[in-house]
Every structure is written in structure tokens, then in C-alpha cells.
A and B are shown apart, each in its own frame.
Chain A
Amino acid sequence: MDVTPKYVEDLHTFLRTSSVTRLSHYTKLNTIQLVNPQEAPSIPGHWMGIILLAGGGIRIMLKSFYLTSHIRALTENFYNETERILLSPNRTHDFIKEFNNLVGGALKLALDRQNLATGISLPVVTRGFDDIFSVKTDETFKYKHFWKIGLPNAYLTLVSAIQITDPTIIKNFNLKDAESVVQVKNEIETL
């Protein structure tokens, strides 16, 4: 079994930390927790938000799986109870798109600080089921990692997939403190 290189572990760590801080800030909930489950199911949720970062020999995909009811619970500080019940699926999809934008944007900024310019895709939402057809991604994105964030009864399941074609560019990166730097220097803004 291949050992995951440290620079890949650092990227995963950055994404995990960043996802928790962004979701906490975004939802105005200070009880957001991170859980590392033992096993990832093939389809971790009914819906799936996707965002991709690419450039300079690196491609990183972030998938956020969720249920509408969980997003309604996570947004309790945004809306009153009636508004939450009536929250349309489109609004929950917008929430996830924005969340993926925030996490992807944080990573892009962190990589910029390491002098690696990357492009970021537009966030897209589709059915979680569609992930079973992502054969090419499955083959080319060698490093995969998944985790859960949220509340005990309302959470997102996140999957990161990383492809590195030129390790020399990234292997000396220092992402350990990048997330705290990003948070301090940039006020997190949500739409």
C-alpha cells in the first residue's frame, strides 16, 4: 500500500481545518465538530456540491455531500423556524455552493502564498448518486480523504481528491499555519 506523502497529508489537513472554521463562521455556530469516520460509503448524501482547483501540476477536488434537512438545521441562526421549514432546495444548494467557494478560496489563497497560482472552478451542485459514474476522477485522483463536519444530527460529508503530476512544486510547501494566517488576514465574507 502506498504511503501518502506528507505534502498531501498537509493539503488534507488544511482542507479539514478550513472546512470546520468556514462552516462555523458561515453558520454562526460555535459547536461545529469534525469527525473522521472509519469508512466512506459510495454515496454519502442525496446531494453533492463540487468545486475544483487546478494549476501548476496540482488538481484538487472537493465534494460536499448533504441532505436538505441537515442544511436547514445548520442554518438555524440565519432564519427563523418558519423560514427554515420553507427553505427551498435552491437556497440550500446556494448555501453549499458558497461553502465550497469559501473552502476552495481559502486553499487557493494559501497556495498563492506559496507562490503557486491556481484557478478555481465555479461551484456546481448535482445528485450524490452521480458520483458513482466518476470513473475517470476515481482513477486519476490518487489521494482521497473524507471527513464529516457539523452537528451530531446535521452534517456534511466531505471528500477531497488530489492529483499531483509534479511533486517537486509542492513538496516543500508549508501549509501548517496557512489556515490561521488566512483567517487572521482575511475577514471571511459570505454572500
Chain B
Amino acid sequence: MSLSSIDIQATYQIINIFENSKFHADSILDTIPHFFAVINEDGRILRGNEEVAKLLGVDLEGLIYKNIHEIFTEENWNLFKSKLVYLKEAANGKIEFQLAIGPEKTKQKSYLWNVSQLQGLKSNLSRCYSLTGKDISELEKMLTELLTAQKDIEVTAEIQNLLLPKKRHFQTPQFQMLYSYQPATKSGGDWIWHHHREQGKKEESALFLLGDVTGHGIGPAMITAIISGGCHTFAQLYAKKKLDLIKLFSTLADSLETLSENKYWMTLAALELFPKKREFRWLSAGAPPLLRLEKNGHMDLILIPGTPLGAPSPFLKEKYGKYAPGDRFFIYSDGVPELLTPDHALRQGSRMLREFLEQEKNETLEITMQKLEKLLDQARKSTPNPDDASIIMIEAT
């Protein structure tokens, strides 16, 4: 075999490699799931992919010299051309804009276009443009749905706020109360309420409730609405001493179990204070322990067992105790201690909460609450999926 024949064979191998590589690269461009085309200044297609062919109703090899106008309305094609003027001024030689394709308003699809001018062409092709278009109609639809959902959540949040006590700070001759409600999203699964029973002009008892439904968002918010409705009805009976707390808890547990079919549970804590006897009663359906900070600085952790409302095989315990003027009570949802530790360690967070409240024993409730809310706000920013966090602070006078 002559040397030139060997040269030709070697060259053939190289050409073959390049040819194959080119075929594969072209085939990738042909099948990318977005609009890709090169057009001349009249809008005629010089190169396009399968997505373009599909839109124009031809096969890939029939695309050349098809007019891209066909996919636009006349108005939108004029808009498209007018955008090309900005190419000259574009810093990176590319422009991006949004423009719909399709014949009628109802059948149009929104596309995000990226256009650049091709360089290094034959002299008879003065201007050619490379364009890619991405169908963003589904994305726009989802965005609209999301905005609608956001509106719904805002409305839910507004309604939920109606279920909370009107005043954040409430005071009677026997107590002062302050609460903080911080949902993880606009609407949450925490719920707070208080009710005062009077006999004559004297306050006979005060009841403070804090509920926490599993999860957060619209679903739990609806559960809190059910529980809140039940409690409002109960308030009438409570005032007339016709229904006891134990009965309330079991009625709510039955309702929740029936309605949510064990999908949603709610922890519920109730603190009842009797100022005449200076006695308190604590009921907990799976809620975090009650914290009582005595005036002398001693922190008492009152933990009693109980199952959340809606959970199977429910049971509930209650505990009575004495209190003195100046004693403070703290009822909270588990989101509070969870937020106070970076790794959401509930036990460690509970200890941190106790220590914080002990440190603040000489501060007013208002300042203590402000400081705690600041801590929770900071923690929420660095927590990827925070829980709702609510707390009631009560001080006996």
C-alpha cells in the first residue's frame, strides 16, 4: 500500500469521527424540548428543531424557508421585529423577552424568547438571528394559581385572626395576660382563647386555652376554626357553670376524631385560675408542660400525661395547685422551644425557655414578651421550616 493511500485512510478515520460527532450534536439540537431556530431578516427559517416543526405542522426537513410569522399573530410578529432593534444596544449581544405564540388570544401560549444575532456568515446573508423560545404558559398558569392560593391564605389568616382574642394584652384586678401568636406561614395551626367567669362584680374564675394542630397552613387553620367554634359555644355554658372542662375536652376530642378521621390531632392546654381560693387547675391534652415562675424566682414545671385531641385511645389528667400574687404562668406551643434551639431539640429548647423566663423575672411581662418575640423572630429566619409559635403569659396580682 502506498504512503498516500495510508494518508487517505487516516484522514478518512478523522473525517468519520467529525462527521459522527456533528450528526450527534445536530441531533441533540433537533430534539431539545424548546423552540430553537435560526432565521434570516425576513423571518424565514434556515435551521430549526423538531419543536419548531411541530408548531408549523411540517417535518424537520420541510422547515427550511418556512416563515416564522406563521406562529404569531400579525400584531405579535410586529412586536417581535420591534424587539430586534434593541439587539444593537444589548450589552452581551442577547435580548430576552416574553411574547405569546398562537393564532387567537384564547389559544395563545406564552413563550420566553432569547435572541442573538449570528456572526461570521456568507455575504448574501446580512442578518441572521438565533432564537430559542421556552413555553412558559404552564408556569404562568401555576403562578396565577399560586397567587390565588396566596389570596386564599391571606383571607384564611384574616378569618383566623378573628378567632383570636381581640386584645393582645388583657388585665383584670386579679390578673394580667399577654399573648403572642406567630404562625409559620400566614395562617397557622395554633389557637389561643381566654374566658372570664364573673359572680356579681368579682371575677370568679379565668380560663386560658392554647391549642396546637399538627402541621401548619390552611388545613390546620380550618381545624382551629372548628375547635374555636366549639369553645365559643362552650363559653356560654361555662359562664353558667353548666359544662366542665373535662367534658369540653372529651367533646372536642370526639368531634375532631370524627371530622378529621385521625388525620389531624390537636394538643390543647387549659389553665383555670380561681382568684378567691388562689387555686389553679391545669389540663393538658398532649400539650407541653405548664411553667409556673414563683415570685421568689423558683420555676415549677408542671407536666401531666394526656393524649392530643383526635388521637385514638384518648385519656386526660388534670392537676390542681396553689398560687400567690406575683406568680407567673406560661402556656406555650411546642414551636416555641423548638425554635429556641438550632437543631429543634425540644428538651434542650424547653430548658432554654425556662432559663430565659427565670432571667426575666424582674422585668414586666411586656418587656419579657418583646425579648422572647425578638429571639423567636431571629430563630425563624435561620430555620428552613419553622413551626407555629404561640405563648400566653399570665401574672397574678
A residues neighboring B (CB under 8 Å): 41-43, 45-47, 67-69, 122, 124-129, 131-135, 138-139
Contact = CB atoms under 8 A, between A and B. Distances in A.
Given A122-B8, A124-B19, A127-B26, A46 B61 contact: yes
Q: Which DSSP category, helix, strand, loop or mixed, fits chain B's interface?
A: mixed
B38 interface: yes
Contact of A132 (B8, B22, B122): B122
Contacts of B60: 46
A69 B120 contact: no
Given A126-B19, A127-B47, A43 B64 contact: yes
A42 B40 contact: yes
A41 B121 contact: no
Interface in B24-65: 26, 38, 40, 46-47, 60-65
Given A41-B65, A133-B121, A124 B15 contact: yes
B12 A133 contact: no
Interface in B93-120: 118, 120
Contact of A122 (B15, B61, B63, B125): B15
Interface residues of B, number: 25
Contacts of B26: 127
A107 to B, nearest CB: 18
Contacts of B63: 46
B12 A132 contact: no
Interface in B117-136: 118, 120-125, 128
A45 B128 contact: no
Nearest to B40: A42
B44 to A, nearest CB: 9
Contacts of B61: 46-47, 67-69
Given A43-B46, A129-B46, A138-B122, 11 more contacts: A42-B40, A45-B64, A46-B60, A46-B63, A67-B61, A69-B61, A127-B22, A128-B64, A133-B121, A135-B120, A138-B123
Contacts, number: 55
B394 to A, nearest CB: 79
A125 B16 CA distance: 10
A146 B35 CA distance: 32
B11 interface: yes
Contacts of A129: 38, 46-47, 64
A154 B385 CA distance: 65
Given A45-B64, A68-B61, A126-B22, A132 B125 contact: yes
Nearest to A119: B4
B391 to A, nearest CB: 69
B123 to A, nearest CB: 6
Contact of A135 (B19, B64, B121): B121
Nearest to A130: B22
Interface string B63-79: 11100000000000000
24 contacts: A41-B65, A42-B125, A43-B64, A43-B65, A45-B64, A46-B64, A67-B61, A69-B61, A122-B8, A122-B11, A122-B15, A124-B15, A125-B19, A127-B26, A129-B38, A129-B47, A131-B122, A132-B122, A132-B125, A135-B120, A135-B121, A135-B122, A135-B123, A139-B123
A138 B63 CA distance: 24
Interface string B143-183: 00000000000000000000000000000000000000000
A55 to B, nearest CB: 13
Contacts of B121: 132-133, 135
A42 B19 contact: no
Nearest to B65: A41
Contacts of B12: 122
A147 to B, nearest CB: 18
Contacts of A42: 40, 46, 122, 124-125
Nearest to B14: A122
Contacts of B128: 132
Which of A45, A122, A124 neighbours the largest number of chain B CB atoms within 10 Å of its CB?
A122
A48 to B, nearest CB: 11
Nearest to A65: B64
B267 to A, nearest CB: 68
B121 to A, nearest CB: 5
A86 B53 CA distance: 21
Which A-B residue pairs are the 4 nearest by beta carbons?
A129-B47, A46-B61, A138-B122, A67-B61
